[in-house]
Chains A and B, each alone.
Chain A
Amino acid sequence: MNTRVTRSSRFSNGALAVLALLVVVLLTAPWWAGRAELRLFGEIYLYLSLACLWNLMAGYAGLVSVGQQAYVGFGGYMLFALTIYAGIHPVAAIIAGGLLAAAISIPVATLIFRLNGAYFAIGTWVVAEVFRLSFAQVSALGGGSGSSLPVAIVKSLADSRSARESLSYYLAIGSLILVFAAIYFLLRSNRGIALTAIRDNESAAAELGVNVWRTKLEIYVVTSALTAIIGGLIFLQKLRISPEAAFSVNDWTAFVIFIVVIGGIGTLEGPIIGTIIFFLLRETLADFGTTYLMILGLVAIIVMIKAPKGLWGLISQRYDLEIFPLRYRVQQSATTEQG
């Protein structure tokens, strides 16, 4: 008997090829898409990035946070503070914001990691509120009413408006590719299999050699840093920041949870499907005002009842499919001993 272990399947190879083609097409969007579409696509990429990051934390590391807006807002504010007062380039400011978020997430983690489950979730929300109230106190950044990014800084990105829009688009798609690739390769590594073990049974994982606390801390720090970078990009698109917008639990956490839960938590594919559905609903129903939010809630409830593992969970269970090959397959082939 000859035994082989493979990871990719014919389906995953095909699906990845289609996806790669799609990415190439999307990379050329500044040449064929209009201003409004480009903006919408950029927003989709940033939301998908946030969803992937939240999914890594909640779906794999078991850190169900409702306070990731803390880092979205922090990243946004760092962009404004570092460009206006330190005079550094916006892109450098966004990256620096990510590093600062990583630094600040460590003391935050030592505090909130003492809490479990629902208490942890509430703890993260409290931290986000503390962030919001703290930034509202900083009068140099506009206090409670916020501030706009000065024209000179906006122009430092590129001279023409269309060039700026292209740059902003590429920053968004580039960071999505970065975030997604980082998560994909992490989950394929030895760390990833430890993380998946934590997802399935935390106490058993600990007794099988997985350092649960350290793994969770690493995930928390990395997701916080990347979330802050995405936050910086979001407010580079908006060009205006205020404590309410920067630390909005609705915009940066509730919608993200909706995306991940209906798409399929604890899978790489789930956030993609969730993001597509979220934006389809938003773009078709946005004119209905608050009714749109009620429909969103209804969709979430129906999906949670009918498909607790999300839409991708439903599909993958039924057809045993995987777009991004994380699983291992053991293949046995009888070797004939002839000649």
Chain B
Amino acid sequence: MSQLLAVNHLSKSFGAVVVANDLSFSVTEGEAVGILGPNGAGKTSLFNLLTGALRADNGTIEFCGKDITHTPAALRCKNGIARSFQIPKPFVGMTVFENCLVAATQAAGLRGARARQHAIEVLNDTGLIDKANHHAGKLTLLDRKRLEMARALSTRPSLLLLDEIAGGLTEAECQTLISSIKKIQSAGTTIIWIEHVVHALLAVVERLIVLDFGKKIAEGDPQTTMAQDAVKAVYLGVE
């Protein structure tokens, strides 16, 4: 499998607050990588840097072998990077279906009936089809999170960035989520998943990256990474 994403010496700070500190890692095609770290470790900022919502101070990002460090957000999404927002950002004046249609037409580049068909398929897969005509602004938090996932999938991503989508789910819902993420991965989509619900994360990912203050403090096989002292110290608060 070839390398899909390569992050080299990425740095970003807001004044004294460092959200990415000389961060380097890579992701191969088809892989599922988990990102752990305490609040404020720079996890969501990392996603913002990857999607282009934030510009890096230093370092480069390569996607599909191309340097995308200075590529605008819209183009990165068209090229295959999609994300879900930790705090859902639905298009509140639109229906659930229309939210997905934005992604299908603008990012996936589909037109007319094909775009509509794709949005319908995604809604079927994510269990939102019965709410297709609901106003996105009136959804419950859980459905908003589902919509985040559906909208990201409607872009036909090759790299899917999931930002804390398991929070607040019941155990049964969590299992459904796990199996649907596994299905997305087995269909060929590469996944990077930020999650505090560790057992859900560990059920899916093959590799873990642990961040603290924007710095990578551990990386590797999930079980051995979780067992490292440095990880226990910052993440679980164990001395």
- Taking beta carbons and an 8 Å cutoff, which residues of A are in contact with B? 3, 5, 190, 193-194, 196-197, 199-201, 203-212, 266, 327-330, 332
Q: List residues of chain A with CB within 8 A of the CB of B82.
A: 208
- Contact A208 to B106, CB < 8 A, known contacts A201-B91, A201-B92, A203-B89: yes
Instruction: List 18 interface pairs A-B (beta carbons < 8 Å), by A numbering.
Output: A193-B98, A193-B105, A196-B93, A196-B94, A197-B91, A197-B106, A199-B93, A200-B90, A200-B94, A201-B91, A204-B89, A207-B83, A208-B102, A208-B107, A208-B151, A327-B95, A328-B97, A328-B98
Q: List residues of chain A with CB within 8 A of the CB of B95.
A: 327-329
Q: List residues of chain A with CB within 8 A of the CB of B232.
A: none
Q: List residues of chain A with CB within 8 A of the CB of B107.
A: 208-209
* B74 sits at the interface (CB 8 A): yes
Q: List residues of chain B with CB within 8 A of the CB of A196.
A: 91, 93-94, 98, 102
Taking a contact as CB atoms under 8 Å apart, the answer to whether A329 and B102 are in contact is no
Instruction: Please name the residue on chain B nearest to A331 by beta carbon.
Output: B133
Q: List residues of chain B with CB within 8 A of the CB of A330.
A: 97, 120, 123, 129, 132-133
Q: List residues of chain A with CB within 8 A of the CB of B102.
A: 193-194, 196-197, 205, 208, 210
Q: Smallest distance from the beta carbon of A155 to chain B beta carbons, Å?
A: 50
* B208 sits at the interface (CB 8 A): no
Q: List residues of chain A with CB within 8 A of the CB of B101.
A: 193, 328
Q: Smallest distance from the beta carbon of A12 to chain B beta carbons, Å?
A: 15
Taking a contact as CB atoms under 8 Å apart, the answer to whether B120 and A5 are in contact is yes
Q: Kindly identify, within residues 101 to 149 of chain B, every residue whose CB is under 8 Å from any CB belonging to chain A.
A: 101-103, 105-108, 111, 115-116, 120, 123, 129-130, 132-133
Taking a contact as CB atoms under 8 Å apart, the answer to whether A194 and B105 are in contact is yes
Chain B count of residues within 8 A CB distance of the other chain: 39
Query: Which among A196, A206, A212 has the highest number of chain B CB atoms within 10 Å?
Result: A206
Instruction: Please name the residue on chain B nearest to A197 by beta carbon.
Output: B102
A125–B29 alpha-carbon span in the complex (Å): 52
Q: List residues of chain A with CB within 8 A of the CB of B83.
A: 207
Q: Smallest distance from the beta carbon of A8 to chain B beta carbons, Å?
A: 14
Instruction: List 3 A-B pairs, minimum CB-CB distance, nearest first.
Output: A209-B107, A200-B91, A330-B132
Taking a contact as CB atoms under 8 Å apart, the answer to whether A207 and B53 are in contact is yes
Instruction: Please name the residue on chain B nearest to A326 by beta carbon.
Output: B98
Query: Which among A194, A210, A266, A327 has the highest number of chain B CB atoms within 10 Å?
Result: A210
Q: List residues of chain B with CB within 8 A of the CB of A197.
A: 91, 94, 102, 106
- Contact A210 to B106, CB < 8 A, known contacts A203-B53, A330-B97: yes
- Contact A209 to B97, CB < 8 A, known contacts A5-B120, A204-B85: no
* B185 sits at the interface (CB 8 A): no
Q: List residues of chain A with CB within 8 A of the CB of B51.
A: 207
Instruction: Please name the residue on chain A nearest to B78 by beta carbon.
Output: A209
Taking a contact as CB atoms under 8 Å apart, the answer to whether A206 and B89 are in contact is no
Q: List residues of chain B with CB within 8 A of the CB of A201.
A: 89-92
A200–B137 alpha-carbon span in the complex (Å): 10
Q: List residues of chain A with CB within 8 A of the CB of B111.
A: 190
- Contact A327 to B77, CB < 8 A, known contacts A3-B129, A207-B52: no
Q: List residues of chain A with CB within 8 A of the CB of B93.
A: 196, 199-200, 266
